[in-house]
């Protein structure tokens, strides 16, 4: 086997490029970390590695706003290394690691430790920090110090900040420092720790349910604070029609807000829980089929800015518990783009759907939801030509084959955990190759180191 150095030239032949500038068929030559030629036909330099892009799309590599890497404290389920490998396989150039580790990412010491761990990973591991110390909702973290160490987003994810006064204070500090806050919208009084969505299925299955209001009252409160203070805010994993509609109306009003949705909330409903399989337990919970359509509508009309995985690995020892005791969360990095492509693009085009009125999302919009838009929210868009496939841009690229039909195999995930809810789904389209900083870190859907 020939070992490839980063300096070697790589040419991607015959792919359809999709980026902020639109769609066109081009050859792309990469030298070192950089794209050095983009043209209808580029001659293959001697010794260059050829990647066949015919029948495929060449896309800017993705950014995930919402990844749980579990390290430190949860290494049985995932590590920085295994999670970033799963991300590279999914086509990501960067993930934002959530701070609900043990200890919490709430101090400069822990940030330094994680930077050390992430030095040689297959994609960039950007860190979020918690809004409150230990995510206890009592006292704010030293956000200014953490931001100086590169923390790109602040959130108590896994929990919402319950106290109105403290959330108000957090928004004031974040506004002053120009930082982004991300809220996990869950009012704990409403949710009462219930394991699923409250509705027809929770009654049928005899499980306690958390109502949509658990999410919506917090979205409403935060919008009120954003309005009052002229602050900015990012809403994590929105899952109800009502929450999405609140954000839709607030955006029309001109508030400075962004929102994300997950692959599972746009594809799966609470009917899945009829199996009592704990793999379908997640927070916010899978909602009704109407909510799934609401999430899709939010994506189609631009209310949702980004698709984020909420990749939440749990080792089998932890996850294989009765439904009401199992920890919430599902993995998603390796399947996110394929699930979104299948559900939002392919099904509508190929008419493999029960709903003939389902409009298709354009490839251009899908790519934006995975690249430029999340990069802007997490401020990971600072290098030149971010999200563009042009000469001079860094070669963070994905070759996606839209013709491949496949099923996820739980046993073969790069993640240390196997809790994927998508094992039964027939997926259309797959990430074949990922280049990160000009290095082919994934070829034929397999990590190269
Ligand atoms: Zn969350």
- Given the DSSP bridges, would you call strands 397-406 and 427-436 parallel, antiparallel or unpaired? antiparallel
- Residue 42 confidence (pLDDT) above 80: yes
Provide the mean pLDDT of the chain: 95
- 184 alpha carbon – ligand 1 mean position (Å): 5
- Residue 2 confidence (pLDDT) above 70: no
- Residue 317 confidence (pLDDT) above 70: yes
377 within 8 A of 398, measured Cβ to Cβ: no
Tokens standing for 245?
């509609």
Catalytic residue IDs:
310
- Residue 6 confidence (pLDDT) above 70: no
Edge to edge, what strands does the sheet with 182-183 contain?
A: 182-183, 232-235, 256-261, 306-307
Does 60-377 carry CATH code 3.20.20.140? Answer: yes
- 132 alpha carbon – ligand 1 mean position (Å): 15
- Residue 3 confidence (pLDDT) above 50: no
The pLDDT value given to residue 152: 85
**pTM given for the model:** 0.96
Residues 6 or more apart in contact with residue 314 via CB below 8 angstroms: 77, 326, 327, 329, 417, 419
**Which is more confidently placed, 276 or 20?**
276
- Residue 374 confidence (pLDDT) above 90: yes
Percentage of residues in the chain having pLDDT higher than 90: 91
Q: Tally helices (H) and strands (E) across the chain.
A: 14, 19
Rounded to the nearest angstrom, the gap between the alpha carbon of residue 12 and the centroid of all alpha carbons in its chain is 26
Encode pLDDT of 234-276 as tens digits.
999 999 999 999 999 999 999 999 999 999 999 999 999 999 9
Return the DSSP state at 101: S
- 201 alpha carbon – ligand 1 mean position (Å): 22
- 39 alpha carbon – ligand 1 mean position (Å): 43
- 51 alpha carbon – ligand 1 mean position (Å): 38
CA distance 13 to 89: 21
- 310 alpha carbon – ligand 1 mean position (Å): 7
Encode pLDDT of 96-148 as tens digits.
999 999 999 999 999 999 999 999 999 999 999 999 999 999 999 999 999 99
From residue 108, give the alpha-carbon distance in Å to each of 74, 113, 153.
20, 9, 14
Encode pLDDT of 390-410 as tens digits.
999 999 999 999 999 999 998
Query: CATH 3.20.20.140 occupies which residues in the chain?
Result: 60-377
pLDDT band at 1 (very low <50, low <70, confident <90, very high): very low
- 400 alpha carbon – ligand 1 mean position (Å): 28
**Which is more confidently placed, 51 or 384?**
51
- 158 alpha carbon – ligand 1 mean position (Å): 4
Neighbours of ion ligand 1 (CB under 5 A): 157, 184
Where does 9-58+392-447 sit in CATH, by number?
Answer: 2.30.40.10
Query: CATH 2.30.40.10 occupies which residues in the chain?
Result: 9-58+392-447
Tokens standing for 419?
């809790």
- 240 alpha carbon – ligand 1 mean position (Å): 14
From residue 48, give the alpha-carbon distance in Å to each of 5, 32, 56, 61, 134.
11, 12, 20, 21, 50
- 279 alpha carbon – ligand 1 mean position (Å): 16
- Residue 4 confidence (pLDDT) above 90: no
């Amino acid at each position: 086997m020939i070992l490839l150095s980063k300096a070697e030239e790589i040419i991607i032949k015959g792919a359809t490029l999709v980026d902020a500038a639109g769609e066109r068929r081009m050859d792309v030559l990469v030298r070192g970390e950089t794209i050095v030629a983009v043209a209808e036909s580029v001659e293959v330099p001697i010794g260059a590695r050829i990647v066949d892009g015919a029948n495929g799309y060449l896309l800017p590599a993705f950014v995930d706003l919402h990844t749980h890497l579990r390290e430190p404290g949860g290494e049985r389920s995932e590590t920085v290394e295994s999670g970033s490998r799963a991300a590279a396989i999914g086509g990501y150039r960067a993930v934002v690691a959530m701070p609900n580790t043990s200890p919490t990412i709430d101090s400069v010491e822990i940030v330094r430790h994680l930077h050390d761990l992430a030095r040689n990973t297959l994609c960039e591991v950007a860190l979020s920090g918690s809004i409150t110390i230990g995510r206890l909702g009592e006292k704010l973290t030293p956000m200014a110090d953490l931001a100086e160490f590169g923390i790109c987003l602040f959130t108590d994810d896994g929990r919402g900040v319950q106290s109105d006064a403290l959330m108000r204070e957090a928004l004031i500090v974040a506004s002053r420092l120009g930082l982004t806050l991300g809220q996990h919208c869950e009012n704990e009084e409403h949710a009462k720790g219930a394991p699923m969505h409250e509705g027809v299925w929770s009654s049928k299955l005899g499980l306690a349910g958390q109502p949509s209001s658990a999410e919506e009252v917090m979205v409403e409160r935060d919008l009120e604070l954003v309005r009052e203070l002229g602050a900015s805010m990012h809403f994590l994993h929105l899952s109800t029609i009502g929450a999405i509609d609140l954000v839709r109306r607030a955006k029309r009003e001109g508030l400075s807000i962004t929102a994300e949705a997950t692959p599972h909330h746009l594809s799966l409903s609470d009917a899945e829980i009829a199996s009592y399989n704990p793999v379908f337990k997640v927070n916010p919970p899978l909602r009704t089929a109407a909510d799934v359509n609401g999430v899709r509508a939010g994506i189609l009309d631009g209310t949702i800015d980004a698709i984020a995985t909420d990749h939440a690995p749990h080792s089998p020892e932890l996850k294989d518990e009765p439904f009401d005791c199992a920890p919430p969360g599902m993995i998603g990095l390796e399947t996110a783009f394929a699930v979104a492509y299948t559900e939002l693009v392919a099904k509508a085009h190929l008419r493999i759907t029960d709903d003939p009125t389902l409009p298709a999302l354009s490839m251009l919009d899908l790519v934006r939801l995975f690249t430029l838009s999340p990069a802007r929210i997490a401020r990971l868009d600072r290098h030149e030509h971010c999200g563009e496939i042009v000469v001079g841009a860094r070669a963070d690229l994905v070759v996606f084959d839209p013709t491949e039909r496949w099923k996820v195999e739980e046993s073969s995930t790069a993640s240390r955990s196997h809790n994927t809810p998508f094992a039964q789904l027939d997926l259309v389209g797959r990430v074949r190759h990922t280049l990160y900083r000009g290095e082919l870190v994934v070829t034929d859907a397999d990590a190269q180191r």
